[in-house]
Amino acid sequence: MKPTRRPHRTILAVTVLAVLLAGTWAFAAPESAVQNGQRVFSERKCAVCHALHGQGGNVGPDLSTVGAARDEAWLKKFLVDPQSVYPNTIMPPFRGTAEERDALAAYLRSLN
């Protein structure tokens, strides 16, 4: 019996390979500071008190455009010591690493 060609197998193999390569690429691509900060924002539950585009708490101000009003230096200082800006605020100081704080500031800065 003559072996038949199976083009659909080739297509399948190429597709599987492409999907695998795409997956590897996604893993290899480093997270940007902004993406990292967005993750920290959600991990630290900032949205319990703060809304973004109408989603989240209303204990603190909506942060949808905070990046237009504050620069990164202000944000970094504020995050670790909110009482230095608002002496009686109930916002807890951010207690993560300096890298996380910087990423958070970059993310907030991107909101405008």
Is residue 84 near ligand HEC by the rule CB under 6 A?
no
Give the position of tokens 């993406």: 35
Please identify, among the stretches 8-16, 23-31, 43-51, the one whose residues bind ligand HEC according to the rule CB under 6 A: 43-51
CA–CA separation, 101 and 94 (whole Å):
7
Q: Among 50, 67, 103, 106, indicate the residue that binds ligand HEC (CB under 6 A).
A: 50
Is 79 within 8 Å of 91 (Cβ atoms)?
Answer: no
Residue 39 engages ligand HEC in binding (rule: CB under 6 A): no
Q: Does 41 bind ligand HEC (CB under 6 A)?
A: yes
Dmax (CA) for the chain in angstroms is 87
Contact status, residue 67 vs residue 108, Cβ threshold 8 Å: yes
In angstroms, how far is CA 103 from the centroid of its own chain? 8
Q: Which residue has the tokens 């237009």?
A: 68
Residues numbered 58-77 forming contacts with ligand HEC, rule: CB under 6 A: 59-61, 63, 66, 69-70, 75
- Footprint on this chain of ligand HEC (rule: CB under 6 A): 41, 44, 46, 48-50, 59-61, 63, 66, 69-70, 75, 78, 86, 89-92, 94, 104, 108
